[in-house]
């Protein structure tokens, strides 16, 4: 069990009041709050040893480089990557997926090939593949979902054949909360020779994720959703694939030697990290990994499962409230819903007046919302610092909103 009150004391923002009421922050699926341990780690670099990494032969640069590259080691250990060189720092999940689409996809996708996605994907795991398919003459196909928000795995065998060269899917849906059977999907994809990318933006912050156990070829996630800063994300890729891929961006740090007419590339991981990296943010991500590991990912996952089940029970008791997605035991800490005939944007504004921060809209998943027959939903998302009392505050705020609108 988590000591949530002790954890909350590490997050300065959670002590704030909004509109004169204590903040209830329920939008961690978009971006989480940051503990003092992360803020202090980044502040130390800025205050004590700020200097560009990898290049300087002096103490500040060497200290900053050590801190930055130590963060890579921490991330590799966190996801159980076999080699630190398989951890590529990017700006976020979106850039990591685009890196694969550009550097791997443009070298391997041919006219007539198929790219298999699912109907529950974030735009960041759809649009890069649309661009690639349009450029290469490939075909996008989608694994459908069931009405209760699960992947229709009965259709997977029908869609997977030797025309499918890439399978890309989310480990946990940012709208439905669905936790997908990644290992099973990966095994079936590999059986037909397909490469697999896993969008783990919603999973890595909340669940134990082991890339060796999954046997995925690529896995992408963001620092800002896991108590770290913005501007830093991760692409994990199997070494053999990364070695054969051309660079994504050209410039400093990704080269070994430059001639007037040609260049040779740096070794992994730096081949894919052109220019001055976000090294302070990288240190912040390393501190976030330390923080999460200190608490324990199994404990965080268990806390969120309990909190989500409680939230679904409480929300389900409100007349006219529709929760989208599967039951609590098949999802992570995300609950998206509609409430009577109140537009989600109006509802989010009224909740904000009660100090409750939620997300409203299509959550970068317009095709999924159309599949559900909706244009938008309200999304409450939970993390290690949320409490049962905050769920009660959400329910009370929804009741207040309904009264205020005469619904």
Question: What is the rounded CA–CA span in Å between residue 60 and residue 50?
Answer: 6
* Phi, then psi, of 87 in degrees rounded to 5: -100, 110
Quote the CA–CA distance of 56 and 190 in Å, as a whole number. Answer: 44
Q: Which of 226, 188, 253 is nearest to 79 (CA)?
A: 226
Question: For residues 245 and 170, what is the distance between their CA atoms, to the nearest angstrom?
Answer: 23
State how far the Cα of 184 lies from the Cα of 195, in Å rounded to an integer: 14
Dihedral sign for Cα 248, 140, 199, 76, please: negative
- Single out the residue of 351, 339, 223, 377 nearest to residue 287, CA to CA: 223
Please give the Cα distance from 59 to 65 (Å, whole number): 10
Q: Which tokens in the block code for residue 12?
A: 């300065």
Instruction: Report helix, strand and coil shares of the chain as percent, to nearest 5.
Output: 45, 20, 40
The yes-or-no answer on residue 364 being catalytic is: yes
Candidates 49, 216, 227, 364; catalytic one: 364
Q: How far apart are CA 276 and CA 75, in angstroms?
A: 20
Task: Tally helices (H) and strands (E) across the chain.
Answer: 15, 17
Nearest to 125, CA basis, from 154, 153, 92, 149: 92
CA distance 270 to 274: 7
Catalytic residues: 364
């Amino acid at each position: 069990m988590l000591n949530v009150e002790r954890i909350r004391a590490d997050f300065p923002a959670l002590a704030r009041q909004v509109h004169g009421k204590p903040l209830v922050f329920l939008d961690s699926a978009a971006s989480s709050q940051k503990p003092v341990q992360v803020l202090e780690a980044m502040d130390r670099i800025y205050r004590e040893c700020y200097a560009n990494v990898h290049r300087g032969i002096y103490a500040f640069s060497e200290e900053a480089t050590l801190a930055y590259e130590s963060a890579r080691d921490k991330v590799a250990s966190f996801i159980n990557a076999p080699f630190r060189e398989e951890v590529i720092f990017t700006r976020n999940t979106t850039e990591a997926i685009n890196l694969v689409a550009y550097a791997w996809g443009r070298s391997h996708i041919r006219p007539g090939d198929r790219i298999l996605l699912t109907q529950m994907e974030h735009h960041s795991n759809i649009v890069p593949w649309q661009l690639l398919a349009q450029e290469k003459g490939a075909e996008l196909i989608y694994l459908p979902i069931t009405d209760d928000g699960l992947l229709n795995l009965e259709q997977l065998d029908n869609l997977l054949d030797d025309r499918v060269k890439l399978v890309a899917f989310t480990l946990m849906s940012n709208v439905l909360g669905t936790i997908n059977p990644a290992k099973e999907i990966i095994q079936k994809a590999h059986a037909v020779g397909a490469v697999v990318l896993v969008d783990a933006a919603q999973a890595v912050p909340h669940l134990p994720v082991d890339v060796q156990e999954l046997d995925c070829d690529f896995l992408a996630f963001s620092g800002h959703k896991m108590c770290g800063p913005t501007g830093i994300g991760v692409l994990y890729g199997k070494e053999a694939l990364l070695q054969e891929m051309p660079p994504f961006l050209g410039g400093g740090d990704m080269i070994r030697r430059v001639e007037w007419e040609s260049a040779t590339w740096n070794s992994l991981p730096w081949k894919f990290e052109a220019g001055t990296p976000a090294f302070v943010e990288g240190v912040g991500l390393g501190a976030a990994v330390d923080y999460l590991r200190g608490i324990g990912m199994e404990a965080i996952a268990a806390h969120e499962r309990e909190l989500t089940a409680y939230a679904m029970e409480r929300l389900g008791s409100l007349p006219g409230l529709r929760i989208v997605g599967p039951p609590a035991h098949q999802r992570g800490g995300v609950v998206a819903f509609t409430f009577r005939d109140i537009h989600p944007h109006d509802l989010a504004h009224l909740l904000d007046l009660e100090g409750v921060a939620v997300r409203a809209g299509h959550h970068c998943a317009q095709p999924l919302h159309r599949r559900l027959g909706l244009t938008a939903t309200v999304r409450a998302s939970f993390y290690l610092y949320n409490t049962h009392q905050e769920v009660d505050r959400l329910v009370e705020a929804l009741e207040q909103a309904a009264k205020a609108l005469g619904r």
